[in-house]
C-alpha cells in the first residue's frame, strides 16, 4: 500500500510538473490600482486606473500621449483587451523608443493600431513617427481581419514579437504577419491620439488584462495564415524562398548589374556600403557613374525594394522593360517606362511625382515618408497589367496594351521610341546626379 501511494505521488508530481512546463509564465503589467512601472511621455492626455482598467482620456490640442513601461522588452508575447470611443484613434506601442537625439525624445516605433473608423485597420502595424504604415489592411485579403473588430465593445489583441517576426491577432482572427529588423527591443506604451476637434475632447480608450510572456516566448509562438510582408534588409524569408523570390542585390557587390550600354559595373559614382547601394551625387563635379541595369531581362514579375533620397529635391527612378538604343552619333540611351522616385516639391507636374508612371500617368493615394526615411517600392507586371505601389498602397495602375496607354505615349516625348513599354527588357536604377540609396531589391517572376 505504501509503495502504491509513493508511486501515485511520483506520477502526480510528474504530471503537475509537465503541465506547468507546458504553460507560459504570464506577467501582469497592471496591478488594478495604480501605475507603478509606467511613465507618461508626449502629450497631456490623462491616464488613470478605474476598476482594474487603465483609462486614457483625450485632451484638446495636445500631441499624441503615451503611457510607457519603464522596462524594455525584446522577445515577448503580449495580450490585452481594449475598448475605444468610436471617435478616437489609438494604439499600443511595442519595441518603441524615446531618445534625446531623435526628435527631442519623440516616442517612435512599432504601433499595433486601434482604429474604430470605417477603415478598420485595427491590429495592423504602423511605425509611429518614423516610416509610417508597415502593414496596412488595405486589400481584400484583409477583409476577415477588418471584420473582426467590435466597435464600442471590448476587443482582445495578441501580439507575438519573436526575433524579427511580428504577428498580431484581433479577437482570435490573424491580422499581421510582418518581418522587420529595424528595432529589436523597446518599451510598451498605450497611446491616446491627439485631437484637434472640440467634439472629440474627452473621448476615451480603455485597456484591461494586459499581460506579457518574456521567458521562452518562442516556445509559445503560434502559426498564422495572415499575408506575409517583409522588410528584412537584403534577406529573404523561408516563405519568400519557397515562393520563388530572389535577391537582385546581395548587399555586398554589384553582381547581377552592369553600367548602361556597358558590360561592367561602374567604377565610380556608385557606392556599396553597410548593405546599401547608393548612387552618389555628381552635382558639384564629382565623377558620374551613370545608370545601372540588370544583366538579365524580365517580362512578368513582382519587384520590391526600398529607397531613400538625400535631403533635397533629389530625383531618380526605376525603369523597366528597358532597351538600350544606340544612335548614329555613337551615343546610347536606355529607354523604358519609369517608376518616378523623387522628393515631391512645388513645380512638378502631377505625372512627375513620386510613384508616377513618369510623364504618362499621375499617382493617387501617395503616402511619402519624410526626407531621409526609407520608402518601400513595388512594381507588379502580369501580362499587360502593370501596378506601381508605394509604402503598401497602390498608386498607379495601367494596361500597356490599352488604347489609353498608346494615347498617352503618343502625346509624350516617348512617342518615337519603338516598342516603348511593349517588350521584355532590363530593370534600371537611374543616376540623375542626386544621391539616392537602394536596398532589399528582390524579384519574383511569373
DSSP result, 69-118: ESS-BSSEEEEEEEEE-TT--EEEEEEEE--TTTGGG--EEEEEEE--ST
CATH 2.60.120.560 fits 24-230, yes or no: yes
Indicate if 238-445 has the same CATH topology as 24-230.
yes
Q: Is the dihedral of CA 360, 362, 368, 371 positive or negative?
A: positive
Angle at 95 between CA 90 and CA 99, to 5 degrees: 95
Query: For residue 238, what pLDDT is reported?
Result: 96
pTM: 0.89
Domain ranges in the chain are 24-230, 238-445
The band of 21, judged by pLDDT with boundaries at 50, 70 and 90, is low
Kindly tell me if the per-residue pLDDT of 101 is higher than 90: yes
Strand 65-69 to strand 38-42: parallel, antiparallel, or no bridges (unpaired)? antiparallel
Instruction: Judge whether 342 and 316 are in contact, CB under 8 Å.
Output: yes
For a pLDDT cut of 90, what percent of the chain falls above it? 85
Pick among 3.10.129.10, 2.60.40.2230, 2.60.120.560, 3.30.70.100: CATH of 238-445: 2.60.120.560
pLDDT, tens digit, 9 for 90 and up, residues 215-253: 999 999 999 999 999 999 999 999 999 999 999 999 999
Q: What is the pLDDT of residues 305-333, one digit of tens each?
A: 999 998 778 899 999 999 998 877 777 88
Amino acid at each position: 500500500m505504501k509503495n502504491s501511494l509513493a508511486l501515485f505521488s511520483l506520477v502526480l508530481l510528474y504530471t503537475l510538473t509537465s503541465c506547468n512546463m507546458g504553460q507560459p509564465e504570464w506577467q501582469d503589467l497592471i496591478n488594478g490600482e495604480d501605475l507603478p512601472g509606467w511613465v507618461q511621455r508626449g502629450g497631456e492626455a490623462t491616464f488613470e486606473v478605474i476598476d482594474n482598467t487603465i483609462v486614457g482620456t483625450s485632451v484638446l490640442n495636445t500631441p499624441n500621449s503615451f503611457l510607457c513601461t519603464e522596462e524594455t522588452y525584446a522577445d515577448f508575447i503580449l495580450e490585452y483587451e481594449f475598448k475605444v470611443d468610436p471617435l478616437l484613434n489609438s494604439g499600443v506601442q511595442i519595441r518603441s523608443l524615446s531618445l534625446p537625439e531623435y526628435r527631442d525624445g519623440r516616442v517612435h516605433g512599432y504601433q499595433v493600431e486601434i482604429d474604430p473608423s470605417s477603415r478598420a485597420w485595427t491590429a495592423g502595424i504602423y511605425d509611429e513617427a518614423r516610416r509610417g504604415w508597415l502593414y496596412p489592411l488595405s486589400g481584400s485579403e484583409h477583409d476577415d481581419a477588418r471584420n473582426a473588430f467590435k466597435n464600442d465593445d471590448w476587443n482582445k489583441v495578441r501580439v507575438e514579437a519573436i526575433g524579427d517576426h511580428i504577428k498580431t491577432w484581433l479577437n482570435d482572427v490573424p491580422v499581421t504577419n510582418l518581418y522587420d529588423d529595424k528595432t529589436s527591443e523597446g518599451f510598451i506604451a498605450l497611446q491616446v491620439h491627439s485631437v484637434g476637434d472640440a467634439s472629440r475632447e474627452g473621448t476615451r480608450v480603455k485597456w484591461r488584462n494586459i499581460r506579457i510572456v518574456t521567458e521562452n516566448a518562442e516556445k509559445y509562438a503560434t502559426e498564422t495564415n495572415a499575408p506575409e510582408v517583409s522588410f528584412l534588409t537584403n534577406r529573404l524569408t523561408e516563405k519568400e524562398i519557397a515562393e520563388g523570390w530572389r535577391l537582385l542585390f546581395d548587399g555586398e557587390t554589384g553582381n547581377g548589374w552592369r553600367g548602361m550600354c556597358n558590360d561592367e559595373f561602374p567604377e565610380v559614382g556608385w557606392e556599396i556600403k553597410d548593405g546599401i547601394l547608393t548612387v552618389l551625387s555628381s552635382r558639384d563635379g564629382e565623377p558620374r557613374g551613370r545608370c545601372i541595369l540588370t544583366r538579365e531581362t524580365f517580362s512578368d514579375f513582382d519587384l520590391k525594394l526600398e529607397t531613400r533620397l538625400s535631403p533635397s529635391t533629389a530625383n531618380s527612378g526605376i525603369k523597366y522593360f528597358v532597351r538600350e538604343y544606340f544612335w548614329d552619333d555613337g551615343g546610347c540611351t536606355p529607354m523604358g517606362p519609369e517608376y518616378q522616385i523623387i522628393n515631391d516639391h512645388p513645380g512638378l507636374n502631377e505625372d512627375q511625382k513620386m510613384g508616377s508612371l513618369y510623364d504618362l500617368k499621375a499617382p493617387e493615394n501617395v503616402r511619402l515618408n519624410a526626407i531621409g526615411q526609407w520608402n518601400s517600392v513595388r512594381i507588379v507586371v502580369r501580362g499587360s497589367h502593370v501596378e506601381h505601389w508605394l509604402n503598401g498602397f497602390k498608386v498607379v495602375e495601367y494596361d500597356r496594351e490599352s488604347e489609353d496607354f498608346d494615347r498617352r505615349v503618343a502625346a509624350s516625348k516617348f512617342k518615337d521610341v519603338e516598342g516603348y513599354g511593349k517588350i521584355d527588357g532590363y530593370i534600371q536604377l537611374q543616376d540623375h546626379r542626386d544621391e539616392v540609396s537602394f536596398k532589399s531589391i528582390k524579384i519574383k517572376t511569373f
